[in-house]
Amino acid sequence: MYKVTITDLLKPIVPEEDILNKNDANLIYGDAQTENDLIELTKDADAIINVYAKLTPRVINSLRKCQVIVRRGKGVDSVDIKAATANGILVVNLPDLGNDEVADHAMALLLCSLRKIIEANEHVKSGQWDFKRFLPIPGLKDCILGLVGFGRIAKAVAKRGKCFGLSIQTSDPFVSNEVVNKYGAKLVPLDELLRSSDFISVHCPLSEETTSLLSTREFELMKPSAVLINTARGPVIDEEALINALRSRQIAFAALDVMRKEPPDTNAPLLSMDNVILTPHLASWSENSMRVAGETAAAEILRVFNGYLPKSIVNPEVIKTKQYLKQED
């Protein structure tokens, strides 16, 4: 029987266990708190399902027989791809997971910040009733939404933004004007996007190139009324620079589903700021998306166990070492 280890304690909301058990694979749940715990948990796994735990080079180098690591999500920054590749381990992600959910969440954060929903709710519940306190509020049709990155989620946000009457622009070095124009958006350099956008929503993956992509210089380019939204990865934003920009009112507001450290320290400055909305990295979660995530993760692992290549390989250079795996029809 194959052994599949899931690195994070997600019970009872994962469907993988039943699917794998019916296919001669045993799912082991883990809740490793340290690197040593993770090594002990995964060392003899035939496959790994990873959510948040960091699969470092030391962890990956300790794997004895792992064939595939499935990142139960879109981003793969929790997995050291170089180490996995060097060890001949396929790394797989779920590129379509939660696209609609994240897009919905980004729009919800945008609307809450524009309409001042959180502050107004607290105002009324405290026994007050003065709408003038929350003015001015611009109309959405007068605003520009700037999307940093234009992948699947950003495209979904663009569709939603157009329905609300927003003007859409994006900055992404890997897409063409032709692609962007299909979504009624405009392709612009990042600096121009930062200068002219009323809402700036981050949708780029985390990499060496995008770490602290938005820092002091970038905040200085933004409008004093700008709202920054991040449903991608926390480290894309220089958090200290963001705190300074918010404190000095260099920008008006931030709405964040992700942070540099998750969960944050209890004394983290962003937690006590009145011009910040925070949610706990829940943008991609819905009953449907988590069911699909589990089913897809299990299916990718079973493809490998049954002698086939998985569908979404992050490190395709490993394929040449897996000549026994066939392309699925």
Catalytic positions, written as ranges: 233, 262, 281
Output the six-digit token pair for 216.
């002091």
CB atoms within 10 A of CB 268: 16
User: In what helix (H) or strand (E) does residue 100 lie, and over which residues does it extend?
Assistant: helix 99-115
> What residues contact residue 75 under an 8 Å CB cut-off, 6+ apart?
93, 205, 206, 232, 233
In contact, 255 and 229? CB cutoff 8 Å = yes
Q: Provide the 3-class DSSP secondary structure of residue 11.
A: coil
Structure tokens at 251: 């920008």
Q: What's the rounded Cα separation, in Å, for the pair 50 and 65? A: 16
Q: Taking a C-beta distance cutoff of 8 angstroms, is the pair 143, 196 a contact?
A: no
Q: Is the preceding peptide bond at 12 cis, omega within 30 degrees of 0? A: yes
The answer to whether 145 and 169 are in contact (CB under 8 A) is yes
E strand segments, the chain: 2-6, 25-29, 47-50, 68-71, 90-92, 144-148, 167-171, 185-187, 199-202, 227-230, 253-256, 276-278
